[in-house]
């Protein structure tokens, strides 16, 4: 009987010791990520253009986000924030497509400017936040991030929150609008001036990309996305298995050697809560599902760059979509209702 009790005590001690070590390791990981992020300078970069979109209005997005208090919201999370103002570029000529692309020269100019601004901030070890503007701007921002990662020897993970796959090309596009082509361009399929922006083609390995919330894909895109091997967590996946599971998979193996870039297209959200977008698609994530996405990213402590795009104040109601975007960004930078227990961090994000 004494041997049995002794054995039981030993087992309890081992289990408790393991649990404490596991909790401590996770806590230290969280603290390391939080400290690393809190020491960073956050740089806001406005890109007021809608040359890549089919509808006017996204050029007003940066100012709407500023009015909604984006700088103050991030600062309240404990960061030093600098607003670098807006990059400059050509006006929207409102012309039809030429050879499958609308406004290609203008889109190239804007992306050159965004690339240089983002790369400059990354080189200074700042965290750039691009305030769009339409989603074609992600070509410039992610090309800069990819260049930076190659130079620093870091892995890259891109989380692409969007209602659309954005993998159109000149031969597939029904409109010629380049805001429907940034993923294709980043993966090496597009105009030379855009696909070579990072100094390497492709700028982005499709296996480093995760798309979340997708629910509107043109027929030609479906085949290309499948062939190229992008991991997509569409709304069917989320409906069946839940947003938490989708995010655990999307964040798997994100670690200390990973640069995590978030590209947040506001039309990712359901238009019932985010009406201020030019290409709304019903059936998107709820407010709480979107908040969970941001909170789980914040838990990793690895956010290193961000795009916020496709906000169209001309279609909004009393700036509510801009305010919602700022709410999400607050969570992305660590705002939470409670101090979460360490066990909420996915184990596969601890690598």
- Catalytic machinery residues: 135, 162, 164, 166, 179, 265, 267, 310
For residue 322, the surrounding DSSP H or E stretch is helix 320-332
Q: CB under 8 Å to 68, separation ≥6 — which residues?
A: 319, 322, 323, 325, 326
Q: Would you say 153 and 68 are in contact if contact means Cβ atoms under 8 Å apart?
A: no
Please, how many CA atoms are within 13 Å of residue 105, restricted to the half-sphere of its CB? Answer: 8
CA gap 239, 24 in Å, rounded: 34
Strands 303-309 and 155-161 turn out to be: unpaired
User: Is residue 94 packed enough to be buried (19+ CB in 10 Å), middle (13-18) or exposed (0-12)?
Assistant: exposed
Q: Which residues pair with 306 in a beta bridge?
A: 129, 262
Please work out, in degrees rounded to the nearest 5, the angle formed at the alpha carbon of residue 190 by the alpha carbons of 187 and 196.
70
Q: How far is CA 296 from CA 128, 234, 304, in A?
A: 20, 18, 14
Give per-residue burial for 115-153: e unless 16+ CB within 10 Å, then b.
bebbbebbeeebbbbbbbbbbbbbbbbbbbbbbbbeeee
Rounded to an integer, what distance in angstroms lies between the CA atom of residue 296 and that of residue 293?
Answer: 5
Kindly write down the DSSP assignment for every residue of 15-39, as one continuous string: HHHHHHHHHHHHHHHHHHHHHHHHT
Q: Count CB atoms within 10 A of the CB of residue 40.
A: 14
CA 267 to chain centroid: 13
Where helices occur in 95-242 by DSSP H, the ranges are 104-123, 138-152, 182-186, 192-195, 219-228, 235-241
């Amino acid at each position: 009987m004494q041997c049995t009790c002794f054995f039981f005590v030993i087992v309890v001690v081992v289990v408790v010791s393991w649990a404490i070590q596991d909790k401590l390791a996770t806590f230290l990981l969280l603290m390391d990520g939080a400290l690393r992020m809190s020491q960073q300078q956050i740089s806001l970069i406005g890109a007021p253009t809608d040359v890549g979109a089919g509808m006017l209005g996204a050029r007003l997005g940066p100012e709407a986000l500023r009015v909604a208090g984006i700088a103050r919201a991030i600062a309240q999370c404990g960061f030093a924030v600098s607003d670098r103002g807006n990059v400059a570029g050509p006006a929207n000529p409102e012309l039809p497509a030429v050879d499958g692309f609308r406004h290609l020269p203008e889109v190239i100019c804007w992306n050159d400017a965004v690339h240089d601004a983002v790369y400059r901030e990354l080189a200074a070890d700042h965290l750039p936040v691009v305030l769009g503007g339409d989603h074609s701007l992600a070509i410039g921002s992610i090309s800069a991030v990819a260049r930076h990662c190659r130079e620093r020897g870091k892995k890259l993970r891109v989380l692409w929150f969007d209602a659309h796959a954005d993998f159109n090309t000149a031969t597939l596009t029904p409109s010629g609008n380049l805001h429907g082509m940034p993923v294709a361009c980043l993966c090496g399929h597009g105009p030379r001036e855009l696909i070579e922006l990072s100094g390497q083609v492709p700028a982005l390995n499709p296996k480093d990309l995760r798309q979340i919330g997708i629910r509107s894909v043109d027929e030609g895109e479906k085949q290309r996305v499948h062939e190229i091997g992008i991991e997509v967590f569409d709304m069917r996946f989320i409906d069946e298995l839940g947003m938490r599971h989708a995010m655990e998979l999307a964040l798997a193996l994100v670690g200390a050697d990973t640069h995590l870039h978030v590209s947040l297209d506001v039309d990712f959200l359901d238009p019932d809560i985010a009406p201020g977008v030019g290409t709304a698609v019903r059936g998107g994530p709820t407010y709480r599902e979107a908040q969970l996405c941001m909170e789980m990213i914040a838990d990793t402590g690895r956010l290193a760059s961000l795009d916020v795009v496709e906000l169209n104040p001309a279609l909004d109601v009393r700036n509510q979509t801009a305010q919602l975007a700022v709410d999400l960004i607050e969570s992305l930078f660590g705002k939470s209702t409670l101090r979460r227990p360490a066990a909420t961090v996915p184990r596969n994000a601890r690598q």
